[in-house]
Structure 1
Amino acid sequence: MADEDRRSFGRKADKGDSRRDGQQTPSPTSYTGSQTSLPGISAPQMPHSPALSAAMSVESQSSEFQASANRKPPFFFREEYAGLIVKGNFMTLAAKPVHVEEGEWLAHQVVEQFRLLEGMLAIIKVIDDRTGKPICNQETCPTMSAAGHTYAWLDQQRKPIKIPACSYIHHVQKWINGKISDPNLFPTDTSFALPSAYASGGMNTPGASTPIPAGPTNLDASLNSLAGKEWLGRSSGFPENFEGDIKSIYRQMARCYAHIYHGHWLDPFWHINAYKELNTCFIHFVNVGKLFGLIADKEMEPMQPLIDLWQEKGLLPSAQQTGSRPEAGQGAAA
């Protein structure tokens, strides 16, 4: 893809419509999904490596959560609190433009989804005037939890350690920023975006008098194996591990959203009337993840009731549409 076309995406998007529809909903009187305050619990020492891999995390599910399955669901799982700040079908926003290479489109989408998530995370980092601490802190959220799921990092000895949610989120943001800023994983060199027919950079390449370097390759692989091997984004210069890495990024973003809902929906999102903005960012995130197979159903378990509600309303792709990867104007919902 030409450099100007790539910059037209910018791997960013204009700020979404922040209009509110003014619809009034009943005021919550209780909240079953909030985190219990556990003062005095100190967090284990974190590894010194600034590049913790998203694969370096594990998940557990408590029996206590399973035993409480019959309790009344949290407010964010109820239809009256599932509203959005925009109307329409989000599949249109996710549909790939016809003339855009798929790897390039997904790189743009992942960066955009991370931008939206960071906006929501910034809200739970605001200093609470009552405590003088961020809303999400070591005392309110001693672990990275969502419903009965607890997410743990692996330390340098590959042992799972439970850390406060604020520390977990900080490491996730740092890790994702490192990934999307890495030109080896998210290349921006225009020479890599040319049609694959000229990837070898021969002297007869149209419009050039010097060879154009080929995209990144595995030097340990034979030429015959590389010639017939394809992967997501190869023609735009994305490396072979690109798809696996963006799926890891998406998995960690899903965990951040799950913690935001289960730990902070009432305070602060309900209190500042921003829960519809949260819903709008999350439904867009889920829609892209489902359509392009970036997120597994297991990772969505803490938020599945809300996803089911939106699917029943036709706001998210059905099981038949999942993984179809529609292009704009070709089967995308209006």
Structure 2
Amino acid sequence: MSFFNSIGRSMSRNPRAQKRSPTPTSATFPDMPPPPVPPSPASPVPSKPLYLCSPFVEAALVKGNFKTIVVLPKYVDIMEWVAVNVFDFYTNLNEFYGAISECCTQHSCPTMSAGPNLSYTWVNQDRKSVNLAAPTYIDYVMTWVQNLLDDENVFPTKSGHDFPQSFPSTIKHVYRQLLRVFAHIYHAHYPQILHLRSEPHFNSLFAHFLAFGREYELLDIRDVKGATNASVGVGLLWDKWREMGILEG
């Protein structure tokens, strides 16, 4: 069933639990080396990212195809299902970022990058695209999503209150922004994820996020893979997981 074709259906739901973002916690990395110096033009071509290398690319808490855990359960309203899952993705991603946030600074991450040739820009209140350091960009994203989650007009929690007509388009925008946070962490902070020995958890969260987004038409594959001349690093991870049978096309 298409999420975008179901917005007009009436619904009655049990109220969800109060939504609150966890306070990010800071992790200490006493043995982490300083950020690597970018190679000079004469340096050898760098090897592929760690998250594409074995055994890290195979690390996961869930075995098999993630299609099985994103299918709409019987008797569950599709709007409620999407809302609850988006809340969970946000909450878990917020916790992961909180754990590595001390390594994501204005100095180490002066741009919101997701690949060697790709940096995302933020659209400000004047509808102008501006370059922001990654921690500032991510703070804007997480604050914006939290405000949406706390808005009863967007994410109603009381029985009998319907989701707005704009809910699908809002969720698609949320999904695009959360994808960018995932992409930056994989590109710039996967060593810290490995240091915490959390790669099975983080890979499973991201694979679940991708599978759910594709199942309910929330994710454009072009956002995952990027343009030819500015590819997103996690686009290769998407392809690898498809080859492994973890994700579907």
Q: Normalised by the size of structure 1, how large is the TM-score?
A: 0.59
Contact 2:105–2:135 at 8 Å: present in 1 too?
A: yes
The reply to whether residue 144 of structure 1 matches residue 112 of structure 2 is yes
CA shift for structure 1 position 191: 2.1
Alpha-carbon spacing, 1:176–1:121, altered in 2? closer, same or farther (3 Å): same
Q: Which residue of 1 aligns with 2:52?
A: 77
Deviations 1:182-216 (A, max 9, x none): 11111123123xxxxxxxxxxxxxxxxxxxxxxxx
User: 2: CA distance between counterparts of 1:102 and 1:293?
Assistant: 12
Deviations 1:205-256 (A, max 9, x none): xxxxxxxxxxxxxxxxxxxxxxxxxxxxxxxx11111000000000000000
User: 1: CA distance between counterparts of 2:189 and 2:111?
Assistant: 14
Identity of aligned residues (%): 33
Which AA in structure 1 matches 2:236? Answer: P
Q: Which residue of 1 aligns with 2:28?
A: none
State which of 235, 243, 248 in structure 2 corresponds to 1:304: 235
Equivalent runs, 1:279-298 vs 2, <5 Å: 279-298=203-222
Aligned-residue CA RMSD (Å): 2.3
The reply to whether residue 158 of structure 1 matches residue 117 of structure 2 is no
Alpha-carbon spacing, 1:191–1:310, altered in 2? closer, same or farther (3 Å): same
User: 1: CA distance between counterparts of 2:160 and 2:54?
Assistant: 49
State which of 240, 248, 259 in structure 1 corresponds to 2:173: 248
Contact 1:144–1:151 at 8 Å: present in 2 too?
A: yes
Alpha-carbon spacing, 1:106–1:11, altered in 2? closer, same or farther (3 Å): farther
Partner secondary structure for residue 99 of structure 1? coil
Aligned length: 211
Q: Which residue of 2 aligns with 1:271?
A: 195
User: 2: CA distance between counterparts of 1:249 and 1:75?
Assistant: 27
Identify which of structures 1 and 2 has the higher relative contact order when contacts are C-alpha pairs closer than 8 Å and 6+ apart: 2
Q: Which residue of 1 aligns with 2:70?
A: 94
Alpha-carbon spacing, 1:144–1:95, altered in 2? closer, same or farther (3 Å): same
Q: Normalised by the size of structure 2, how large is the TM-score?
A: 0.78
Contact 1:152–1:162 at 8 Å: present in 2 too?
A: yes
User: 2: CA distance between counterparts of 1:255 and 1:35?
Assistant: 22
Partner secondary structure for residue 190 of structure 1? coil
User: 1: CA distance between counterparts of 2:204 and 2:242?
Assistant: 14
Alpha-carbon spacing, 1:36–1:169, altered in 2? closer, same or farther (3 Å): farther
CA shift for structure 1 position 35: 7.5
Deviations 1:37-73 (A, max 9, x none): 8xxxxxxxxxxxxxxxxxxxxxxxxxxxxxxxx7532
Contact 1:76–1:265 at 8 Å: present in 2 too?
A: yes
